């Protein structure tokens, strides 16, 4: 546990439940959880801090992973220049997606899955997402590559799906020859 952030393990049944739409204005508890998740993700991507605090590296965290069945997730992506690209995404829906499919070459990871998982997860290379921000304002954003994968991974969490559910159990590397790796 880090501050008020307790991340559920994949064995927890809550991670396989669909989340409810968040309502506005957000509660103080929701805002505190958003701030805590962003803080966790930033610190988890700093090797020295992560080791000192015992944090596993991550770039996204969805509310169901923290025990709240609300359609909210945050992404904190550390760029090459050590700045962060951050999103607070509320009640998202995918508007469109590319036909090009990709996968993460090293394999996807998840803060709720505390084990190495073999296999690939096919994802769309680009998606357009409609969502609300922390103030309840609506936005549409086109994301690509790593950020598109992160959005799809976190939206799956909101729908009760873990990345491990998307790996073909009989052929974990199915599609590796036709999908582009990132």
Question: DSSP states of 106-168 as a string?
Answer: T---BTTB-S---S---EESEEEEEEE-TTS-EEEEEEEHHHHHHHHHHHHHHTT--GGGGS-
Q: Which of 10, 86, 118, 154 is catalytic?
A: 154
Q: Residue 76 CB: number of other CB atoms within 10 A?
A: 23
> Residue 10 catalytic?
no
Strand partners, 89: 73
Is the torsion defined by CA of 51, 152, 132, 160 positive or negative?
Answer: negative
| Residue numbers annotated as active site | 154
């Amino acid at each position: 546990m880090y501050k008020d952030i307790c991340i559920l393990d994949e064995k927890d049944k809550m991670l396989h439940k669909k989340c409810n739409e968040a309502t506005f204005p957000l509660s103080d508890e929701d805002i505190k959880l958003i701030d805590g998740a962003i803080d966790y993700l930033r610190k988890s991507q700093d090797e020295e801090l992560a080791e000192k605090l015992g944090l596993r590296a991550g770039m996204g965290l969805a509310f169901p992973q923290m025990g709240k069945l609300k359609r909210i997730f945050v992404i904190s992506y550390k760029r090459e220049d050590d700045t962060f690209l951050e999103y607070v995404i509320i009640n998202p829906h995918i508007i469109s997606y590319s036909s090009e499919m990709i996968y993460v070459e090293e394999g996807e990871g998840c803060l709720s899955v505390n084990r190495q998982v073999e296999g690939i997860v096919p994802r769309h290379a680009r998606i357009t997402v409609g969502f609300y921000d922390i103030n309840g304002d609506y936005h549409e954003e086109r994301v690509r590559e790593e950020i598109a994968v992160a959005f799809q991974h976190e939206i799956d969490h909101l729908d009760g799906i873990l990345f491990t559910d998307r790996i073909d159990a009989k052929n974990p590397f199915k599609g590796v020859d036709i999908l582009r790796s990132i």
